[in-house]
Structure 1
């Protein structure tokens, strides 16, 4: 695809609570932003109508004439090979043909779909904490745990757009059943709701405001609450085991951790780095570093644009390591 420096990508970041859109330029700047609530309880048409409304607002901007593609980062599961999505928190979308619908709504522009963890990875590799690293694992630790891979300097989404989904690596062979159907998954131990669940089970109690979130557990852990600290330590151990397994399998040299749970800071990162030294013992895996993500809430949009740009040859970004 022949491109010019001023070419733009329309980015969509689709989740269970919000549908965000932006026009992104070749330096990762968000020129226009649009946001709508996801009608998660609505039927397929209602959710798509909200996506179309976001695209419509972007298309009304003067800069739209410079848009060359649409990049989508969606909550999963996604199947980029089929152009379909089935987000867990959007029950009206099951095998929904999102790529075809967005292609039509955008007037026939090329559309590239990846999972939200892969989008975050593309963003952090292009503009964030994984920049300059040819082999990286990037993770989102929030309501769930997702991730993506950069291998050989290129985004590696895999055939369906889900490669690097570290949240569903099993790290506890006899552990609890996960919502995915597996057992002992990283997500079942390290996601925000599961950190809070375990802290409550171990004796932590919310303050007067009744806040029982992982953020509240983190605050209690910083204040020295032993049950809160133990729950974060358990989450850190699960994350470390998953990172070590990934580093052993594909030789990444950095693991970037973002998402709301990462906001706990050293309550999470301190035990995580300590546990990683315990699990990543082989010489070729022992050097993996853990660092916080840099792009925050913009990562989904920047990454959706970067994934599309790499796939379609925009902005001089390297192509993806596996076709989607």
Structure 2
């Protein structure tokens, strides 16, 4: 069998790859995201990746959001030239192929479940903790995308109903406490003089008290969200990627402690938290997996238990 075309749309780069049914990358390419004519750059990238080989069978797209999977439109925050842009239809016109669209964090979760740290997990929450916090769910092996394609928006789950107002308009969102910029913001408000979350992580590793406290505060917010998700849908595995996850034990050690302190029920306490093994390749892998599912018959309904 040939391959499918996977596309990853981000504010800083566009990536595409031909991927076979085992997840092997046959050809790939990356270009910086231009300020204007993003579709022109994407069309050139698609031609570069697909020329000289078998025609792809389908296309999977993972895009920064917000998005509307029903309409097939995207409005990435860091791409002002795309507002309500009909990405799915434009790619379908470009390729003439079945095309599926999902959020980039949802594709991250699907990719990790297929090939990465969540492989074989019964129920997975994949999270990207970076400038923002995104997420995706795979339940009983099936991606849970939601009616409009926005399921798994865990960065905007409320972990403190009396907490800080979030940029989304909500209050007490986990992103306000645990995203990279907000970790650094809180630390600066408490006397730290560094520049960003990467520097904050280095200082925390070296024992700076304020930096350590910032990561412990962020980890507790993440733990509250993870425990809530585990209780709601019996998530058994959480895979975390993104720039903040690169902090390693500075993040994961306090997160493990906080989950142990917050969780009560045995099946909630049993949740396993793991770092990504695919890294930046996870979203492309997930987009490819979703493309392959467009070619397969839907699974038989599970028998009632």
Q: 2:20 aligns with which of 19, 25, 40?
A: 25
> Unaligned 5+ residue runs, structure 2?
none
Look up the match of 2:70. Answer: 81
Matched, 1:267 2:250: yes
Three-state SS of the structure 1 residue aligned to 2:199 is helix
Within a 5 Å distance, the mapping from 1:239-258 to structure 2 comes to 239-258=222-241
TM-score (norm 2): 0.94
Deviations 1:143-169 (A, max 9, x none): 110011111121111122221111110
Task: Tell me how far apart the structure 1 counterparts of residues 271 and 3 of structure 2 sit (CA, whole Å).
Answer: 35
Task: Tell me how far apart the structure 1 counterparts of residues 283 and 162 of structure 2 sit (CA, whole Å).
Answer: 34
TM superposition shift of 1:176: 2.0
Matched, 1:8 2:42: no
Tell whether the 8 Å contact from 2:69 to 2:102 is kept in structure 1 after alignment. Answer: yes
Q: 1:52 aligns with which of 43, 56, 66?
A: 43
Deviations 1:161-194 (A, max 9, x none): 2211111101121222222221111111111111
Tell whether the 8 Å contact from 2:18 to 2:50 is kept in structure 1 after alignment. Answer: no
Q: 1:113 aligns with which of 86, 98, 101?
A: 101
Task: Tell me how far apart the structure 1 counterparts of residues 181 and 228 of structure 2 sit (CA, whole Å).
Answer: 24
> Unaligned 5+ residue runs, structure 1?
1-5, 207-211
Tell whether the 8 Å contact from 1:118 to 1:161 is kept in structure 2 after alignment. Answer: no
Look up the match of 1:92. Answer: 81
Matched, 1:228 2:211: yes
Task: Tell me how far apart the structure 1 counterparts of residues 170 and 78 of structure 2 sit (CA, whole Å).
Answer: 18
Question: Aligned pair in 2 of structure 1 residues 130, 188: CA closer, same or farther (>3 Å)?
Answer: same
CA-based RMSD of the aligned residues comes to 1.7
Within a 5 Å distance, the mapping from 1:54-73 to structure 2 comes to 54-60=45-51, 62-63=52-53, 65-73=54-62
Q: 2:131 aligns with which of 140, 143, 164?
A: 143
Tell whether the 8 Å contact from 1:248 to 1:280 is kept in structure 2 after alignment. Answer: no
Three-state SS of the structure 2 residue aligned to 1:68 is coil
Tell whether the 8 Å contact from 1:20 to 1:35 is kept in structure 2 after alignment. Answer: yes
Tell whether the 8 Å contact from 2:60 to 2:290 is kept in structure 1 after alignment. Answer: yes
Matched, 1:133 2:128: no
TM-score (norm 1): 0.89
